A and B are shown apart, each in its own frame.
Chain A
Amino acid sequence: MKKSHLHNIKNSGFKTPDGYFDAFDERLLKKLNVKKEMASISDSGFKVPDNYFETFDDKLQARLKNENSSTKVIKLNPWRKVAYLSGVAASIALLLTFLLNSKGQLTINQIETASIENYLIDQNLNAYDIASFLNEEDLIVDNFVSSSLTEESLENYLINNTSIEDLIIGK
């Protein structure tokens, strides 16, 4: 029965855009032409002024000599850079401390998790930056191995600290 049904289907159902076969030759020829044209190109077409390469060596040697004799490169000491950066960092830290203190008793717990998250995203911190905030004491293997969580505390944590959206996104 199935077989006889198959015999009745004479058309695959596929269609081509209007005029596909009429335009096919032209498109193919155009493409072949492009390939032929590309194959005929042996260089980029750029040129150099006459004797450019012949005079380049002398020009460069003169520049090297000139730079070696007249300008001594003063290297910025690396510590100076660090000092500048730490100066900037310290002023920002100071400013933040004043700002935070002036509002009174704002603590890290009062800041919404979302704000902290946004801050971290905005600051473009990478894994190394974050790692630099960790104390080495935090990274002792025992801390990871020996701390065991009871199911109850895990449940409490999840109830208090997550929303249904987090769980869905977390999936």
Chain B
Amino acid sequence: MHNDDDLILRLTSEQTKDSAFKELLSLYKERLYWHVRKIVISHDDADDVLQETFIKIYRNIHNFKGESKLFSWMYRIATNEALTHLKKNANLKNNSSPELHEHTINNLQADVYFEGNEIQLKLQKAIATLPEKQKLVFNMRYFDDIKYSDMSEILDTSEGALKATYHIAVKKVEEYLTTH
């Protein structure tokens, strides 16, 4: 198991910060990318958000107080960045966030960076119908297998509430897949 404390120590010291940051990137960039990608859907948006996320992490690592796991802290930053990005995009296009999301999902078939089969596409469409929080919880649990205890730190919600949210989300997704 990787030692967070040691990495944080090196990240907060000026001499070792850059090399430690490289290590942090190689450890977490892919996981964070996939987390963000499932929220914002398009690769270009995910790339923007991932860069912003790591810039924030680089600048604010000295503020990390170790109250949660480093990984939860970074996931929280990435989640917030992704949601803010969606809202910003929607505002730019004078559109509501859910509407724009639906539009993006409908264009998914034409996306060169989506190679899902018919059922994967249908699943993405089903997920798109969920409210924001359910969408997050479903993605994190279904695809990434994130533990409820970690998710609770990331989303600042009790484990019980998260389990209930996931249960409702699965029911809705199954319902969508059955009727479409």
Please report the C-alpha to C-alpha distance between residue A48 and residue B115 in the assembled complex, in whole angstroms: 10
| Of A2-10, A52-60, A91-99, the one with at least 4 CB within 8 A of chain B | A52-60
Per-position binary interface string of chain B over residues 105-126, scored 1 when its CB falls under 8 Å from any chain A CB and 0 otherwise: 0000000011111011101100
- Is B43 on the interface with A (CB-CB < 8 A)? yes
- Is B25 on the interface with A (CB-CB < 8 A)? yes
* Contacting residues of chain B (145-180) with chain A, CB-CB under 8 angstroms: 173-174, 177-178
The one of B22, B43, B51 in contact with A59, judged by C-beta atoms closer than 8 angstroms, is B51
| Of B31-39, B71-79, B86-94, the one with at least 4 CB within 8 A of chain A | B31-39
**Does B177 lie within 8 Å of A57, measured CB to CB?**
no
Residues of chain B within 8 A of A43, CB atoms compared? 120, 143
* Chain B contact patch, size range: 20 to 34
A98 to chain B: closest CB distance in Å? Answer: 36
**Does B25 lie within 8 Å of A41, measured CB to CB?**
no
Please report the C-alpha to C-alpha distance between residue A44 and residue B178 in the assembled complex, in whole angstroms: 19
Per-position binary interface string of chain A over residues 39-77, scored 1 when its CB falls under 8 Å from any chain B CB and 0 otherwise: 011011111110011001101100110010000000000
**Does B113 lie within 8 Å of A47, measured CB to CB?**
yes
**Does B50 lie within 8 Å of A46, measured CB to CB?**
no
B positions within 8 Å CB-CB of A: 22, 25-26, 29-30, 33-34, 37-38, 41, 43, 47, 50-51, 54-55, 58, 113-117, 119-121, 123-124, 139, 143, 173-174, 177-178
Closest 5 CB pairs of A and B: A45-B116, A45-B120, A34-B177, A47-B113, A37-B119
6 contacts between A and B (CB under 8 A): A30-B178, A37-B177, A45-B120, A46-B41, A47-B43, A67-B55
